[in-house]
Structure 1
Amino acid sequence: MSKNRKPTAADKASRYTGRMAASQGASVSETFQSAKTPITAFNVKLPTATHTALKMRAVEEHTTMNDLLRKALEHTYGFPYDPYQ
């Protein structure tokens, strides 16, 4: 794909082949579990305020943003999140 051309819907959809998107009826946990890359604070799109709050809390608790995000996912969806499954 050339740099000057906007990505088409087909280009965008081709990235998700083989995976069921959340908008297609999969639950969030199924989407996360089928994702190829581990979920981290850096590849999940968070609102700026949420990202800042997460960063400040991580510093306060002497831990990483990824650990806080993993704990939140485990608490919310009730399964242990293994990023390298």
Structure 2
Amino acid sequence: IHVTPEAYDGGLLAKVRDGDIIRVNGQTGELTLLVDEAELAAREPHIPDLSASRVGTGRELFSALREKLSGAEQGATCITF
């Protein structure tokens, strides 16, 4: 499942917390976050610090590809035509 906008880009996923209930409807392709609107509005988005994840375990080998990846809405790909 690709969800957009992504948490790192400030999407709703950045406000999901441990323990939240999410309804997944495979027939319609919908994800529904079952959290009160007022509580959700009061939450600050959590944007992870990924700077420590740039190197190690071979990650530097693919760094050029990661920089070119498109978002989920564009297919999450580094290949363009």
TM-score normalised per structure 2: 0.23
Structure with bigger RCO (C-alpha 8 Å, 6+ apart): 2
Greater helix fraction, Structure 1 or Structure 2: 1
